[in-house]
């Protein structure tokens, strides 16, 4: 374990970058060596984001780009870039094969170049690296993450969904279908200036989007196969919620086989056992998770309800899309990669009482 981890952040001015900075500021072993932003180059982080306390006195300043020399000083690079930009960045800037990288973007989550093209519509520019990136979902993958140099941080929707499905799939139950209805706060779309994201458009409103072929499906089906050995096709529909932060995924699984009378209780117990050593996942014995209870935390709360009438297991899984769905999980991965306590710097409670 190193005394201090020197960190570079590329693309630090989006919602995810901002959350990353906040977490790392309070992290015992992390030191931000540089962070970049084209939009805010040469500006003080605390000036750009007044919600960051005191950082204006710390002299943390956005750089336009990182130099060769900057890369030499760091132990870990976080990439917070839009689709297609992470792979370009890696291709053009990374010489040192030992530099640890956590890509919070989407370019390295798909293992197979062909599948990447299917879901992202482009050829991958460094396809040879895809196999080197561990899928950074620590609750399922911590062994691999610990020994990897490269980690692809999962998407926000897949994080909530895979954590919700894993115990069921691992237990070997056969499912007729998996229907997933996810709802996300608007920060999932970043700070994009577009009509649908205006307060006047979204407040008092709700709707679904991308009802077909959302990019996160590729990554979900890939990981579901790793977990279950089965080629499931999931029916996934995201919706936009009039809240700032948080994802609520409702997962409906029709269970195929004849089920024992106590399936409801036994499956809840299986879930609790599965996550008994997972600091950030909590199975609720009764009741249903609420979005407000995870916002501001790195947790995933899961509630389970078995509907005997229709043999449907309903799994409700909630996370903060910016933390467990992005920056928080990235730091959880960092902690594992550097041999730290898994929850170092990630102890924050929810903001809503």
Q: How far is the CB of 329 from a second copy (least distance, A)?
A: 15
Residues 6+ apart with CB under 8 A from 65: 36
For a second copy, which is the closer residue by CB, 159 or 187?
Answer: 187
Measured distance CA(92)–CA(65) in Å, rounded: 12
Local structure of 330: helix, strand or coil:
helix
Instruction: Give the residue from 111, 301, 118 showing the smallest Cα distance to 223.
Output: 111
CA dihedral 320, 292, 264, 180 (to 10 degrees): -50
Q: How far is the CB of 62 from a second copy (least distance, A)?
A: 15
Active-site residue, selected from the candidate residues 80, 156, 253, 300? 156
Write b or e for each residue in 103-130: b if 16 or more Cβ atoms lie within 10 A of its Cβ, otherwise e: bbbbbbbbbeeebbeebbeeebebeebb
For a second copy, which is the closer residue by CB, 64 or 308?
Answer: 308
For a second copy, which is the closer residue by CB, 65 or 244?
Answer: 244
Give the Cβ contact number of residue 343 at 10 Å. Answer: 14
- Identify whether 300 is a catalytic site residue: no
Q: How far is the CB of 325 from a second copy (least distance, A)?
A: 14
Angstrom CA distances, 297 to 139, 143, 264, 312, 320, stand at 16, 24, 28, 30, 7
Q: How far is the CB of 291 from a second copy (least distance, A)?
A: 4
For a second copy, which is the closer residue by CB, 100 or 245?
Answer: 245
Q: How far is the CB of 320 from a second copy (least distance, A)?
A: 10
For a second copy, which is the closer residue by CB, 146 or 214?
Answer: 214
Residues 6+ apart with CB under 8 A from 28: 344, 345
Annotated catalytic residues are: 156
């Amino acid at each position: 374990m190193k005394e201090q981890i020197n960190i570079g952040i590329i693309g630090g001015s989006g919602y995810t970058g901002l959350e990353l900075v906040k977490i790392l500021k309070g992290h015992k072993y992390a030191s931000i060596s540089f962070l970049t932003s084209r939009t805010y180059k040469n500006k003080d982080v605390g000036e750009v984001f007044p919600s960051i306390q005191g950082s204006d006195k710390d002299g943390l300043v956005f750089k336009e780009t990182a130099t060769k020399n900057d890369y030499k000083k760091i132990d870990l690079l976080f990439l917070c870039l839009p689709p297609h930009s992470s792979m370009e960045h890696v291709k053009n800037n990374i010489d040192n094969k030992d530099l640890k990288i956590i890509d919070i973007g989407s370019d390295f989550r798909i293992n197979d170049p062909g599948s990447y093209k299917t879901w992202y519509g482009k050829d991958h520019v460094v396809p040879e690296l895809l196999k080197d990136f561990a899928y950074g979902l620590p609750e399922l993958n911590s062994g691999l993450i610990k020994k990897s140099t490269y980690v692809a941080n999962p998407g926000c929707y897949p994080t909530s969904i895979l954590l919700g499905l894993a115990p069921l799939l691992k237990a070997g139950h056969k499912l007729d279908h998996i229907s997933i209805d996810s709802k996300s706060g608007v920060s999932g779309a970043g700070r994009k200036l577009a009509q649908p994201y205006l307060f006047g458009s979204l407040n008092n409103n709700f709707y679904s989007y991308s009802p077909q072929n959302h990019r996160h499906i590729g990554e979900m089906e890939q990981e579901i196969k790793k977990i279950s050995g089965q080629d499931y096709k999931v029916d996934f529909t995201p919706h936009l919620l009039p809240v700032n932060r948080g994802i609520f995924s409702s997962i409906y699984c029709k269970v195929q086989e004849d089920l024992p009378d106590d399936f409801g209780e036994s499956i809840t117990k299986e879930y609790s056992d599965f996550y008994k050593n997972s600091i950030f996942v909590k199975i609720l014995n009764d009741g249903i998770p609420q979005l407000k209870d995870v916002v501001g935390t790195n947790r995933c709360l899961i509630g389970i309800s078995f509907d005997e009438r229709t043999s449907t297991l309903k799994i409700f899984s909630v996370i903060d899309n910016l933390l467990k769905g992005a920056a928080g999980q990235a730091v959880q991965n960092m902690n594992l990669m550097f041999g730290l306590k898994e929850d170092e710097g990630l102890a924050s409670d929810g903001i809503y009482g």
